[in-house]
Structure 1
Amino acid sequence: MINALLALTLAVAPTPSGGLDQTLDAGQSQATGRAVLETGHVDIGPRLRDGKWTIQIHDDHAVPSVWREPDDTVLRIRDTARQPVPDDEAYAFLGEKPGTEVHVVPQTEKPGVVWIGWNTQDPGVLKAIVRGVTMSLRGVQGPGRVTVFLQSGNLGAPQVLWSSAKPYPQPMWVETNTHTHANWVFGRPGNYQVAVDISADLADGSTATASTVLRLAVGDSAEPDFDAAFTAPLPSASIAAVAEPAAPTRNGVVVLAGAGLLAVLVVVILVLRQAGVRRRAEREAAR
């Protein structure tokens, strides 16, 4: 429980070099027309173009790379992504029995599986924001549970970032110039709609917010549905990220010197973040 609570409030920092380095060209084209993306590299992220703050999908599988509108895009996850749930209590947060096959978009790219990540690297965004953005999961609609988590090869323990089994919204602070990929797990095949918004304090003192719905077709039997509507109740608005990183990060996971220090910092971070959430809720209630 502590790991899950901690992960939901930890900031996601820029991924270090080693396969994820990229720079986005200000002149990259805006694609038109509908597209089903079922393989290759794609990122979700904010874009500032002609003064308009939006959420778009950066399609790096296209040559040359292009930006796509989420309304015109379906991310298709083929059965090549099926994996059994490990027989390990560390993965109990997935809500599935060990051995159950689920569809997994892994943190590292796998041939034949669309590789879903996020970035804050649009040149317009880099010029407009100072520190980072808040990327919030506002709701999930689909036949099964959706979980997004990071796992470090050094620490081993998974850190849950988003889970459709938890209350919404679920904010995640993402630093400027970040490019990160995580594990996306879908409990059942079928069509999913994932409601996301991204907000930021801009350098000019204003605040920008955009919302979108990501459409995913999970499993070979799921037909892409561009017109699927999100009909489930949604929170009225995104909430800000709870706090900035409390420790240096590597690949989105906190790096600490030892187990003892980790235990102490976990307690301290939880207390501080819970206090921050309480103060923020009190301010919202007073409005």
Structure 2
Amino acid sequence: MRVVLIPIALAGALLAPGPARAQVLSDGHVDYAARIVDGQFRSQIKDGTRGTTVWRDVPAVTFAVLDAARTTVPSSPSFAFLGTPGSAVWMLPQTQRAGLLWPGWNTEELSNAQVDGAVSWRLDSVDGPGSVSVFQSGTFGNPEIVFRSNDGLPDTYSIPLGTHAHANWAFSREGAYRLTFTMSARLSGGQTASDTQTLAVTVGTATNPTPTPTPDPGAPGGPSPTATPTPGIPGAPDTPATGDTTSAPALRPLSARLSGRTLRLRVRLDRRAKVAVTLRRSGRTTAHAKTRTVSPGTRTLKLRLNKRPKAGRHIVRITATTEGRSRTRTIALRVRN
């Protein structure tokens, strides 16, 4: 009998299992969700792409944005945050479209007995070749931004318990992205729990891996919802996101004008809300105003900033909150000497 001696280091390499291949999801319904797993607050992917629900760890998943998601940035100023009008953008739409992934978010697995109040969802960072925007089609037909990476991060969004919602996910360039999210909540016992995970996303034909062809077992669940395909970027009112847009305030900024440290901001609200305003430039906050309560309707707010921002183009970031449910919108402001 011939005996072959293998060095210990090499033997370990031969016996050690290789890295698990990420489950590539490219078509159907998925949610970025918060839940309690083995007594711990966790963020996971609820995968319904194969007609049954499978819960997956975020690092074990890759979202594939196929080239069929490619469209162009509209000429409307409301969509300027996506890039130059007419330029390419890859977008997974808010309403389901056959052949594309349909990502949303979900807090339906949590109960009031487990969590006290809403779940905070934060986009901490984006590592990739372009910018990432997540936005909903608002009541007035304009985008309502959830996350936007090209004006600075982190961005935070509040999700009430029992929510299942969808939005448009837009990527400005092809390539491989890594999106780092943190979900956090106040547990019923009084302590705050959080979970930070990084989601891999591949965009466009050149970088997308081949979708995993074989289904794998999971807990039984309902079939993936269907909807009429909606190509392009919505520029008119769309179907409200289930469980969310009906409760969060609809907000539309109409104009912004600065005189000294006084900002005159004209907005439209569909209900009474607390309104917070900050000015940002190159991803940094340049000024802010005190939060105030605003009645519904079209209003001109006269806000005193903590300081006068320097000359140049700034982004006015407006967040309206009602009963812990928020909407954030932005409008450009040119500050002159």
- Answer whether TM exceeds 0.5 for this pair: yes
Conservation of the 8 A alpha-carbon contact between 2:133 and 2:145? yes
Question: Which protein has the bigger strand share?
Answer: 2
Conservation of the 8 A alpha-carbon contact between 1:74 and 1:224? no
Q: 2:164 maps to what in 1?
A: 179
Alignment map for 1:1-287 (pairs within 5 Å): 34-94=22-82, 96-123=83-110, 127-152=113-138, 154-224=139-209, 250-251=245-246, 254-255=249-250, 262=268, 269-270=275-276, 274-275=289-290
Conservation of the 8 A alpha-carbon contact between 1:151 and 1:253? no
Residue 255 of structure 1 and its aligned partner are, at CA, apart by 4.0
In structure 1, list runs of 5 or more residues that go unmatched. Answer: 1-31, 226-247, 279-287
Amino acid at match of 1:181: H
Residue 265 of structure 1 and its aligned partner are, at CA, apart by 7.8
Residue 266 of structure 1 and its aligned partner are, at CA, apart by 9.5
Q: Deviations over 1:106-142 (max 9, x none)?
A: 111111110010000115x554113211000100010
3-state secondary structure, aligned to 1:250: coil
Conservation of the 8 A alpha-carbon contact between 2:134 and 2:147? yes
> Highest Rg: 1 or 2?
2
Amino acid at match of 1:148: V
Amino acid at match of 2:101: V
Amino acid at match of 2:98: P
In structure 2, list runs of 5 or more residues that go unmatched. Answer: 1-19, 211-242, 255-265, 279-287, 292-304, 306-337
Q: 1:141 to 1:224 in 2, by over 3 A?
A: farther
Q: 1:24 maps to what in 2?
A: none
Distance in 2 of aligned mates of 1:126 and 1:170: 25
Conservation of the 8 A alpha-carbon contact between 1:43 and 1:118? yes
Conservation of the 8 A alpha-carbon contact between 1:130 and 1:203? yes
Work out which structure has the larger RCO, using CA pairs closer than 8 Å and 6 or more positions apart in sequence.
Answer: 1
Residue 88 of structure 1 and its aligned partner are, at CA, apart by 1.1
CA RMSD, Structure 1 to Structure 2 (Å): 3.1
Q: Deviations over 1:87-109 (max 9, x none)?
A: 11111111x22111210011111
Identity of aligned residues (%): 32
3-state secondary structure, aligned to 1:262: strand
Residue 262 of structure 1 and its aligned partner are, at CA, apart by 2.1
Residue 163 of structure 1 and its aligned partner are, at CA, apart by 0.9
Number of positions where the alignment pairs a residue of Structure 1 with one of Structure 2: 220
Conservation of the 8 A alpha-carbon contact between 1:45 and 1:56? yes
Amino acid at match of 1:141: D
Runs of 4+ in 1 over 4 A off after TM superposition: 263-268, 271-274
Conservation of the 8 A alpha-carbon contact between 1:180 and 1:252? no
> Given the two structures, how large is their TM-score scaled by the length of structure 1?
0.69
Question: Which protein has the bigger helix share?
Answer: 1
Distance in 1 of aligned mates of 2:247 and 2:171: 21
Amino acid at match of 1:77: V
